[in-house]
């Protein structure tokens, strides 16, 4: 019985869909649809209209898919912004890394104080020199040579060791000038451990706070103004026996293997002239996700090693997490940001070497450029004159080649409203489709189908009940004449008795 009832209901639904489908095709506002279902049309005419409608649907679908792909992959445009009248321009971070950041005197002094040895042999000098040069690129070579050696205790703090044997600020710099004003070099340069090794940095947000001379020191970004006498940083080093790698980057970025040095200073040039190319992103791009706009705003992605997002901050943290996952420790040149990280002991450095390529890989970390992205490029190198080489080859000036006049702007080319308009325009052009057409389709194939099916059920139930009454319920006759006759006889009998 239940099966027959379900079958009957299914039949009613199918009939309703068929009926409403026919009504929809006959009354639809879509191009050409009514000619397919209209009675009196020949088969060839209907087939022709059906073919054209199908072509329109396919074309619309293909174009809409292409528009969606464009919206997902390239919805922004980057162009020149010439309306850039900023009187304050941020000076870059200048980081210099000495290729041999120690000296024989430093090593001998360290051994004498910490190991109580009056004599230093060649093996000790070689070992501690290589320790001072440790970086992510020299790590494997160092561990192959010294991981099994017993020059130091296996529990030795590698960061303390490298700091103790490395050249201090007074050992490196002689004079410094910032915007033509003389400064104590150690007041404007901070030392920092980087993936390139032990370095000194000017105007960088990222420096080593663990060994900072003043606890209340606070970083303040340095700017230049168009009215300044010079837009440069000049420094003179004490020794020219070791070359320097020069990095010129944004002060918010971290010096690491994501950057190659813009110049290897071998003391044959005295001036580096650089230009700045800055790209900023307008606020309206926040309607897009990071993957669409290809950049992340400063407060959009949280990283542990910095309070604001940067690409190098993301990649550095990624490599730290890789090292913790594979070796349960991180190399000494990374900063410990919380208790989840710890530096590798000397007996653990071989693990880092074994997994170095995996640690350096950041492909799985989804790091994106910052939406405010600044790149510094060297435009010119001034070479020393022949008669100056004996006197001024230890001095280097880093300055802007010219005042920045333009920057780049990334803005929305194709937003949600543009996408909706494009979809509607294409669908309207090929099919005459609109949002009301969608409402019309929903109306015909949901509300009307439901109401029609319900009405049919109600009508069928009433007809069934009516037939049942006609068949089984026979009306009972009322004999009014006999009743009236009996009442009359009874009345007369009563009167006679009286």
Q: What are phi and psi of 465, to 5 degrees?
A: -65, -40
| Whether 450 and 341 share a structural domain | no
pLDDT tens figures, 319-363: 999 999 999 999 999 999 888 899 998 888 889 999 999 999 999
Give the model's pLDDT for residue 343: 93
| Whether 276 and 390 share a structural domain | yes
Region 51-72: mean pLDDT is: 87
Residue 81 belongs to a domain: no
Region 128-141: mean pLDDT is: 91
**End-to-end Cα distance, the chain:** 69
Give the model's pLDDT for residue 475: 56
Q: Taking the mean position of all CA atoms in its chain, how far away is CA 241? A: 43
Of 12-21, 61-70, 189-198, 282-291, the range with the highest mean pLDDT is 189-198
Q: How confident is the model at residue 3 (pLDDT cuts 50, 70, 90)?
A: very low
Give the model's pLDDT for residue 480: 47
Are the C-beta atoms of 199 and 96 separated by less than 8 Å? yes
Show the domain range for 466.
1-28+434-498
Residue 159 belongs to a domain: yes
Residue 464: Cβ-neighbour burial (10 angstroms; 0-12, 13-18, 19+): exposed
What is the distance between the alpha carbons of residues 236 and 173, in angstroms, rounded to a whole number?
6
Residue 149 has pLDDT above 90, yes or no: no
Residue 82 belongs to a domain: no
Q: What are phi and psi of 94, to 5 degrees?
A: -105, 115
| Whether 258 and 282 share a structural domain | yes
Residue 83 belongs to a domain: no
Give the model's pLDDT for residue 419: 78
| Whether 486 and 348 share a structural domain | no
What is the distance between the alpha carbons of residues 300 and 138, in angstroms, rounded to a whole number?
35
Report the sign of the C-alpha dihedral through residues 225, 230, 232, 235, in that order. Answer: negative
The total of structural domains in the chain comes to 3
pLDDT tens figures, 263-314: 999 998 999 999 999 999 988 888 888 988 889 999 899 999 999 999 999 9
| Whether 250 and 187 share a structural domain | yes
| Whether 492 and 424 share a structural domain | no
The more confident residue out of 332 and 37 is 332
| Whether 396 and 420 share a structural domain | no
Residue 198: Cβ-neighbour burial (10 angstroms; 0-12, 13-18, 19+): buried
| Whether 425 and 349 share a structural domain | no
Region 11-37: mean pLDDT is: 69
Residue 79 belongs to a domain: no
Backbone region of residue 180 per phi and psi (left: phi > 0; alpha: psi in -120 to 50; beta: other values): left
Residues 6+ apart with CB under 8 A from 315: 256, 258, 362, 365, 367
| Whether 10 and 40 share a structural domain | no
What is the distance between the alpha carbons of residues 373 and 302, in angstroms, rounded to a whole number?
17
| Whether 407 and 419 share a structural domain | no
Give the model's pLDDT for residue 182: 95
Query: Which H, E and C letters describe the chain, residue by residue?
Result: CHHHHHHHHHHHHHHHHHHHHHHHHHHCCCCCHHHHHCCCCCHHHHHHHHHHHHHHHHHHHHHHHHHHHHHHHCCEEEEEECCCCCCEEECCEEEEEECCCCCHHHHHHHHHHHCCCCCCCHHHHHHHHHHHCCCCCCHHHHHHHHCCCCCCCCCCEHHHHHHHHCCCHHHHEEEEEECCEEECHHHHEEEEEECCEEEEEECCCCCCCCCCCCCCCCCCCCEEECCCCCCEEEEEECCCCCCEEEEEECCCCCCCCCCCCCEEECCCEEEEEEEEEEEEECHHHHHCCHHHHCCECCCCCCCCCCCCCCHHHHHHHHHHHHHHHHHCCECCCCCCCCCCCCECEHHHHHHHHHCHHHHHCCHHHCCCCECCEEEEEEEEEEECCHHHCCCCCCEEEEEECCCCCCEEEEEECCCHHHHHHHHHHHHHHHHCCCHHHHHHHHHHHHHHHHHHHHHHHHHHHHHHHHHHHHHHCCCCCCCHHHHHHHHHHHHHHHHHHC
Give the model's pLDDT for residue 235: 96
The more confident residue out of 308 and 25 is 308
| Whether 110 and 50 share a structural domain | no
Q: Taking the mean position of all CA atoms in its chain, how far away is CA 24? A: 47
Region 214-223: mean pLDDT is: 80
Give the model's pLDDT for residue 465: 56
Residue 100 has pLDDT above 90, yes or no: yes
Q: How confident is the model at residue 381 (pLDDT cuts 50, 70, 90)?
A: very high
Question: 153, 126, 155: which is closest to 142 by C-alpha?
Answer: 126
Region 463-479: mean pLDDT is: 56
Average pLDDT, the chain: 82
| Whether 256 and 286 share a structural domain | yes
């Amino acid at each position: 019985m239940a099966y027959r009832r379900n079958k009957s209901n299914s039949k009613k639904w199918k009939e309703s869909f068929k009926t409403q489908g026919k009504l929809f095709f006959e009354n639809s506002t879509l191009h050409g649809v009514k000619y397919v279902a209209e009675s009196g049309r020949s088969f060839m005419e209907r087939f022709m209209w059906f073919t054209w409608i199908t072509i329109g649907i396919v074309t619309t679908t293909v174009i809409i898919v292409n528009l969606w792909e464009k919206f997902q992959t390239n919805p922004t445009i980057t162009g020149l912004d010439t309306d850039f009248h900023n009187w304050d321009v941020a000076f870059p971070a200048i980081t210099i890394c000495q290729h041999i950041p120690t000296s024989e005197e430093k090593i001998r002094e360290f051994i004498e104080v910490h190991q109580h040895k009056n004599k230093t042999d060649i093996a000790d000098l070689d070992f501690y020199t290589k320790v001072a040069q440790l970086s992510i690129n020299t790590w494997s070579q160092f561990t192959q040579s010294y991981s099994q050696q017993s020059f130091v205790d296996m529990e030795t703090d590698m960061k303390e060791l490298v700091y103790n044997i490395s050249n201090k600020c007074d050992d490196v710099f002689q004079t410094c000038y910032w915007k033509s004003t003389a400064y104590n070099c150690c007041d404007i340069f901070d030392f920092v451990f980087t993936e390139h090794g032990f370095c000194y940095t000017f105007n960088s947000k990222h420096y080593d706070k663990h060994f900072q001379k003043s606890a209340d020191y606070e970083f303040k970004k340095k700017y230049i103004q168009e009215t300044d006498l010079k837009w440069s940083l000049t420094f003179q080093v004490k020794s020219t026996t070791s070359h320097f790698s020069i990095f010129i980057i944004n002060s918010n970025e971290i010096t690491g293997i994501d950057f190659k040095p813009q110049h290897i200073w071998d003391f044959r040039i005295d001036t580096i002239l650089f230009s700045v190319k800055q790209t900023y992103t307008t606020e309206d791009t926040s309607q897009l996700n990071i993957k669409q706009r290809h950049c992340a705003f400063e407060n959009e992605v949280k990283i542990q090693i910095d309070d604001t997002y940067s690409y190098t901050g993301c990649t550095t943290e990624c490599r730290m997490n890789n090292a913790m996952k594979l070796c349960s420790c991180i190399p000494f040149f990374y900063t410990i940001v919380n208790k989840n990280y710890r530096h590798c002991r000397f007996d653990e450095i071989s693990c880092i070497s074994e997994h170095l390529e995996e640690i350096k890989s950041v492909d799985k970390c989804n790091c994106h450029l910052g939406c405010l992205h600044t790149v510094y490029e060297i435009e010119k190198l001034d070479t020393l004159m022949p008669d100056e080489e004996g006197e001024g080859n230890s001095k280097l000036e880093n300055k802007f080649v010219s005042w920045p006049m333009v920057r780049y702007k990334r803005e929305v080319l194709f937003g949600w409203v543009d996408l909706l308009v494009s979809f509607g325009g294409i669908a309207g052009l090929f099919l005459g489709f609109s949002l009301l057409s969608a409402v019309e389709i929903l109306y015909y194939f949901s509300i009307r189908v439901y109401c029609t099916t319900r009405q049919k059920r109600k009508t069928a139930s009433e007809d069934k009940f009516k037939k049942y009454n006609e068949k089984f319920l026979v009306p009972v006759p009322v004999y009014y004449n006999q009743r009236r006759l009996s009442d009359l006889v009874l009345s007369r009998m009563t009167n006679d008795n009286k």
